[in-house]
Chain A
Amino acid sequence: MIPALELHDVAKSFGPVRALSGVSLTVQAGEVHCVLGENGAGKSTLCNLVNGGVSLERGTMTLYGEPYRPSRPTDALAAGVAMVHQHFSLVPTLTIAENLLLAAGARLRPRRRELHEGLARIEETYGLSVPLDELAGHVPVGVRQQAEIIKCLLRDPRLLLLDEPTAVLGPADVDALLATCRRIAEAGKAVVLVTHKLGEVTRAGDSATILRGGTVAGAGPLAGFGAEDLVELMVGRPMSDLDPLLVASVDESATSREAARITAEPVFRAQGLTLSRADGTLALDGVNLEIAPGEIVGVAGVEGNGQSELVTVLSGAVPPGSGSFLLGEHDLTFATPRGRTAAGLGIIPEDRHHEGCVPAMSIAENLFLPRLSEFARRGLLDRSALHEAAARVIEEHGIRATGPSARMSTLSGGNQQKVVVARELALDPLVCLVAAQPTRGLDIGAVDAVLGRIRSAAQAGAAVLVISSELSELLALCHRIVVAYRGRLLGPVPAAAPQARDEIGRLMVGAAA
């Protein structure tokens, strides 16, 4: 049988960075082939090579036995290769119907009837449908992804690539997506699923290729790998070397830990915080929370229950409608971000691209942006001192980059997050750390590093608030967990309690409210 896609000894560099070298890979038609790897392992580059987004430097590709060398996405589409992009390819200001019409090429008169026939066929074969008249930018992310998949299927591709398709989805959407992948493969097409989440692979995949540092670390049918083998191949060190906390968060059955006894006076005090949305409903409806030095409190909950708003109020981006927020003896309710930093409040924001760093500036500048005055010499910036200090931080935090002057935007997501964490932890004194979704979109190695840093900050005496949608991670990391539900915090549930997971699950749907 001729393989659907075959890559032989493929290489690609971006400037001095080797993204891929000597990668070979075989995908059969009718199977779901998983490409696994940490962030920065070369997964996205591999996708873009096959999709024509970047050009091949060395090696060969064949598609169903034919030599294949796309130089732009249009070539790939013409050859029957369609890709579901991680950040989507829908124009947000057009409706979904207009986006789907454009996928058939720009014509003077859009072929609406053909589109509706195609959509009916797709709904029949794969059970997928989307609201056509909504703006693509206004529908929930799960719907946007379905529209993206439909857009690909309308072209009737022979090979479908999905780049990190589950990174933005909730659990129910993930299940639906994986079922769709299986159905597409059963229809005789080849599906390549690129991901760093191991759970998905075992549920949906037939075979896998594991990438590490731009080379193939392992390949074969998935039946031949255990979950531990996959982690070891991805990370490149044995499971026993990893933080036990991390193992707990990969393994669903979290081990219960001895909870440290916290007796000190609370230093973080939020009382009756409220915040109204634009439509008049309450995003925060009286949030009360106290955290003692050295304590880690987690906020769990289904997204959209006020978690993001709580962070914006605590960070000073939006003033609360009422209530107060005290850190030690400082009243920070209406303080400026600078005032909050001076009081010892560190914030790791939810969206690191927009709120956490300046992508166009260097690592060194990003690291020391809040305290550049420390590097001033006679009013001018001492660049060499800045770079030396940054080089030390890069070394200490294991940030993978070409050097202190590398631009933030050239780093992988995990390494960008390490920079943000390093900057916030460098506050002196660090009285309180608020971390919002600190591990979102990160690979296992980076999760390990970031969680370890947060825990050592607590051990050094900081009060820590972690907002996360990864329950296993919260259970392994926190002392207490509260659950956000319709703008209130329910609980707390001690994380070490044997029934903690069930209890939190009930609170998440408001059962005990």
Chain B
Amino acid sequence: MSAFVELAEGGVRLAVPLLLASAGELVSERAGVLNLSVEGMMLTGAFAGAVGASMTGSPWAGVGFALAAGLLAALLQAVLSVTLRADQIVTGIAANALALGGTTYGARLFFTDGRSVPGFEPVLGPLTVLGCAGLAVVAAIGLLLSRRTGYGLAVDAAGADAVAADRTGLPVAAIRYGVVLLTGLTSALAGAQLALAEVHAFTDNLTAGVGYLAVVAVIAGRWRAWPTALACLFFGIAQALQFTAPLLGLHLPTAVLVMSPYLIALVAVSGLVGSSRAPAGLTVPFHRESR
């Protein structure tokens, strides 16, 4: 019995960073920007959070550091993909590689003398204060940017048909900047979650693909809010299962569990379950002055 509780608790705990990252990513993709750099922004957030908390001794200061760093990383992505109209997939991969190299080098320089990283302790079941704040942020995004609000409609319009949205008088470039910066904030928060609430340290490649999982969750959820949230929860439980499977008496190869999110995403995009609903303008840069 306790193994099941442990599984559920672990699943929820691991789902929080996924939910945060994919909430931002979902909004960003609905507006037409494929933000593949969530992984990099999470890693940047985790590193900045750990450094900030270690330097000041306050985990909340670490969160502030993380948000600022995430915002900077997102600004880079926004300038590249919205203003300079660079290929979003290429810039995303480059940003991730840069973040991995940068934070690994930074960790070599900073965490040399066994510095400790103060973190958050669980207050509500498995959740820390930061985890609760993260869930509140996810809920707020879900409410404020749903299709029932004008903002949510504007986000969808910018992603489905940027030309039509522009002609309607919506500020397409500003909307896209906004969603990329929002993704930067939520991803950094997700990274801080990992560094300050989970491991209380920074290790090389701390995120280890969680950011990519967030992108996968959006695809598996077919660009809708609730299915994406469910996908995040499922991926969280699949990760937790890696640790609790022996306790439950299951003898699944770990590789199968690690693989499962990606298999689900493949099924979701291959059209086996109804038609795909990707926003029509996803990864298409918007440029007004053309014939």
Which of B49-57, B150-158, B194-202 forms part of the interface with chain A? B150-158
Prevailing SS type, chain B contact patch: helix
Question: CB within 8 A of B153: which of A90, A92, A94?
Answer: A94
Contact digits for A394-416, partner B, Cβ 8 Å, 1 yes 0 no: 00000000000000001000000
Which of A99-107, A381-389, A456-464, A481-489 forms part of the interface with chain B? A99-107
Bound-state Cα–Cα, A410 to B290, Å: 9
Question: CB within 8 A of A44: which of B163, B166, B168, B291?
Answer: B291
Decide if A89 is an interface residue (CB 8 Å cutoff): yes
Decide if B248 is an interface residue (CB 8 Å cutoff): no
Bound-state Cα–Cα, A240 to B131, Å: 81
Question: CB within 8 A of B160: which of A44, A54, A83, A92?
Answer: A92
Contact digits for B114-158, partner A, Cβ 8 Å, 1 yes 0 no: 000000000000000000000000000000100101110110110
Check A108 against B150 for contact (C-beta < 8 Å). yes
Question: CB within 8 A of B150: which of A55, A93, A101, A410?
Answer: A101
CB within 8 Å of B: which of A125-170? 151
Question: CB within 8 A of B289: which of A54, A74, A99?
Answer: A54
Decide if B280 is an interface residue (CB 8 Å cutoff): yes
Check A90 against B170 for contact (C-beta < 8 Å). no
Question: Known contacts A14-B291, A90-B164, A92-B160; is A108 also within 8 Å of B149 by CB?
Answer: yes
Decide if B251 is an interface residue (CB 8 Å cutoff): no
Bound-state Cα–Cα, A45 to B290, Å: 10
Q: How far is the CB of B275 from chain A (nearest CB, A)?
A: 12
Bound-state Cα–Cα, A151 to B170, Å: 14
Q: Which residues of B contact A106 (CB under 8 A)?
A: 150-151, 153-154, 170, 175
Check B154 against A89 for contact (C-beta < 8 Å). no
Q: How far is the CB of A435 from chain B (nearest CB, A)?
A: 26
Question: Known contacts A14-B291, A55-B289, A74-B171; is A108 also within 8 Å of B164 by CB?
Answer: no
Check B150 against A109 for contact (C-beta < 8 Å). yes
Bound-state Cα–Cα, A107 to B169, Å: 13
Decide if B6 is an interface residue (CB 8 Å cutoff): no
Check B150 against A105 for contact (C-beta < 8 Å). yes
Bound-state Cα–Cα, A366 to B180, Å: 38
Bound-state Cα–Cα, A109 to B153, Å: 11
Check B165 against A91 for contact (C-beta < 8 Å). yes
Bound-state Cα–Cα, A411 to B244, Å: 63
Check A102 against B289 for contact (C-beta < 8 Å). no
Output the nearest chain B residue to A88 by Cβ-Cβ distance: B164
Decide if A183 is an interface residue (CB 8 Å cutoff): no
Q: Which residues of B contact A151 (CB under 8 A)?
A: 168
Q: Which residues of B contact A19 (CB under 8 A)?
A: 291
Question: Known contacts A93-B160, A110-B149; is A102 also within 8 Å of B168 by CB?
Answer: yes
Bound-state Cα–Cα, A21 to B264, Å: 58
Question: Known contacts A94-B153, A108-B151; is A102 also within 8 Å of B167 by CB?
Answer: no
Decide if B161 is an interface residue (CB 8 Å cutoff): yes
Check A74 against B151 for contact (C-beta < 8 Å). no
Q: How far is the CB of A237 from chain B (nearest CB, A)?
A: 26
Decide if A466 is an interface residue (CB 8 Å cutoff): no
CB within 8 Å of A: which of B156-189? 156-157, 160-161, 163-171, 175
Question: Known contacts A91-B157, A106-B153; is A45 also within 8 Å of B165 by CB?
Answer: no
Q: Which residues of B contact A102 (CB under 8 A)?
A: 150, 153-154, 157, 165, 168, 170
Question: Known contacts A44-B291, A54-B289; is A73 also within 8 Å of B157 by CB?
Answer: no
Decide if A77 is an interface residue (CB 8 Å cutoff): yes
Check B166 against A91 for contact (C-beta < 8 Å). no
Bound-state Cα–Cα, A146 to B65, Å: 52
Q: Which residues of B contact A352 (CB under 8 A)?
A: none
Question: CB within 8 A of A91: which of B149, B164, B169?
Answer: B164
Decide if A85 is an interface residue (CB 8 Å cutoff): yes
Interface-central residue, A101, A102, A109, by most chain B CB under 10 Å = A102
Contact digits for A19-55, partner B, Cβ 8 Å, 1 yes 0 no: 1000000000000000000000000110000010111
Decide if A69 is an interface residue (CB 8 Å cutoff): no
Decide if B108 is an interface residue (CB 8 Å cutoff): no
Question: CB within 8 A of A83: which of B147, B154, B167, B289?
Answer: B167
Check A45 against B291 for contact (C-beta < 8 Å). yes
Interface-central residue, B144, B161, B166, B291, by most chain A CB under 10 Å = B291
Question: Known contacts A89-B164, A91-B157; is A109 also within 8 Å of B149 by CB?
Answer: yes
Check B289 against A98 for contact (C-beta < 8 Å). no
Output the nearest chain A residue to B158 by Cβ-Cβ distance: A91
Decide if A72 is an interface residue (CB 8 Å cutoff): yes
Q: Which residues of A contact B289 (CB under 8 A)?
A: 53-55
Q: How far is the CB of A10 from chain B (nearest CB, A)?
A: 16
Check B168 against A89 for contact (C-beta < 8 Å). yes
Bound-state Cα–Cα, A344 to B157, Å: 45
Question: CB within 8 A of A108: which of B144, B161, B170?
Answer: B144
Q: Which residues of B contact A98 (CB under 8 A)?
A: 147, 153
Question: Known contacts A53-B289, A108-B149, A108-B150; is A103 also within 8 Å of B161 by CB?
Answer: no
Question: CB within 8 A of A101: which of B153, B163, B165, B280?
Answer: B153
Q: How far is the CB of A214 from chain B (nearest CB, A)?
A: 13
Bound-state Cα–Cα, A410 to B291, Å: 8
Q: Which residues of B contact A14 (CB under 8 A)?
A: 290-291
Output the nearest chain B residue to A44 by Cβ-Cβ distance: B291
Q: Which residues of A contact B156 (CB under 8 A)?
A: 91, 93-94
Bound-state Cα–Cα, A351 to B52, Å: 59
Q: Which residues of B contact A90 (CB under 8 A)?
A: 161, 164
Contact sample, A vs B, 6 pairs, CB 8 Å cutoff = A74-B171, A88-B164, A91-B165, A93-B279, A102-B170, A105-B169
A residues contacting B by CB (< 8 A) are 14, 19, 44-45, 51, 53-55, 72-74, 77, 83, 85, 88-94, 98-99, 101-103, 105-110, 151, 410
4 smallest A-B Cβ distances: which pairs?
A89-B167, A106-B154, A107-B150, A89-B164
Query: Given contacts A14-B290, A44-B291, A94-B156, could you give 12 more A-B pairs where the C-beta distance is less than 8 Å?
Result: A45-B291, A53-B167, A73-B169, A74-B171, A77-B169, A89-B167, A92-B280, A93-B161, A107-B149, A110-B149, A110-B150, A151-B168
